C-alpha cells in the first residue's frame, strides 16, 4: 500500500494534526499544494488555514463577537486572509529592518563626526604641546 492509496479523510486528518501541532506551517501547505492536485485540494481546506491564522497571528485573528450573515458571506476565505496578513506582516518586518538600518547609519555618522572632532582636538593638543616644548626649550636657554 502506497501513500497515494490512503483515503482523503486520512490525508485531511494528517494535515489537520500537522497544522495543529505546528509541524506544518504555511510554507509546508503551499509546497504540498504544488505536489499534486489531490494534495492541493486537501491543503485548501479552510480549517487548516483558520488554524494557521489563529496560530501565526493570534492577536489579529479574533473574530467579531456578533458576526452577521452578510458579513460572513463577505469574509474572505482563511487562506486569502492568511496571505493578506502575512504580506502585511512581511512589509512591517521589512520596514522595521529598514528603520533599524537607518538608525544604525545615523549612529555611524554621529560616531564619525565625534571621531573627527577628537582627531581635530588631538591635533590642536599636539600643536599646543609643541608650542609648550619650544617655549620650555627657549626658557632653558635663557
3-state SS record for 31-61: HHHHHCHHHHHHHCCHHHHHHHHHHHCCCCC
pLDDT of residue 65: 46
Q: Are 55 and 89 found together in one domain? A: no
Query: Would residue 112 count as lying in a domain?
Result: yes
Number of domains in the chain: 2
Residue 22 DSSP label: T
The pLDDT tens digits of the residues spanning 9-62 come to 999 999 999 998 889 999 999 999 999 999 999 999 999 999 999 999 987 655
pLDDT of residue 71: 54
Query: Would residue 74 count as lying in a domain?
Result: no
For 43, the domain range is 7-59
pLDDT of residue 69: 54
State yes or no: pLDDT of 66 exceeds 80: no
C-alpha span between 54 and 103 (Å, rounded): 33
Say which residues have a Cβ less than 8 Å from residue 50's Cβ, sequence separation at least 6: 78
Q: What is the pTM of this model?
A: 0.66
Buried b (16+ CB within 10 A) or exposed e, 70-98: eeeeeeeebbebbeeeeeeeeeeeeeeee
Query: Would residue 64 count as lying in a domain?
Result: no
Query: Would residue 66 count as lying in a domain?
Result: no
Query: Would residue 76 count as lying in a domain?
Result: no
Q: Are 45 and 90 found together in one domain? A: no
Query: Would residue 70 count as lying in a domain?
Result: no
Closest CA to 57 of 31, 26, 98: 26
**Local confidence band at 75 (pLDDT 50, 70, 90 cut-offs):** confident
Do the Cβ atoms of 61 and 51 come closer than 8 Å?
no
Q: Are 140 and 91 found together in one domain? A: yes
- Alpha carbon 60 to its chain centroid, in Å, reads 16
State yes or no: pLDDT of 114 exceeds 70: yes
Query: Would residue 68 count as lying in a domain?
Result: no
Coarse DSSP helix, strand, coil percentages of the chain, rounded to the nearest 5 percent: 80, 0, 20
Amino acid at each position: 500500500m502506497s501513500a497515494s492509496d490512503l483515503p482523503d479523510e486520512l490525508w485531511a486528518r494528517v494535515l489537520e494534526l500537522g497544522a495543529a501541532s505546528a509541524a506544518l506551517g504555511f510554507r509546508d501547505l503551499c509546497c504540498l499544494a504544488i505536489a499534486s492536485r489531490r494534495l492541493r485540494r486537501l491543503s485548501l481546506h479552510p480549517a487548516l488555514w483558520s488554524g494557521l491564522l489563529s496560530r501565526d497571528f493570534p492577536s489579529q485573528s479574533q473574530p467579531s463577537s456578533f458576526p452577521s450573515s452578510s458579513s460572513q458571506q463577505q469574509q474572505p476565505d482563511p487562506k486569502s486572509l492568511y496571505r493578506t496578513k502575512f504580506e502585511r506582516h512581511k512589509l512591517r518586518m521589512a520596514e522595521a529592518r529598514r528603520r533599524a538600518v537607518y538608525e544604525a547609519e545615523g549612529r555611524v555618522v554621529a560616531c564619525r563626526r565625534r571621531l573627527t572632532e577628537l582627531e581635530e582636538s588631538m591635533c590642536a593638543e599636539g600643536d599646543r604641546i609643541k608650542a609648550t616644548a619650544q617655549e620650555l626649550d627657549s626658557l632653558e636657554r635663557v
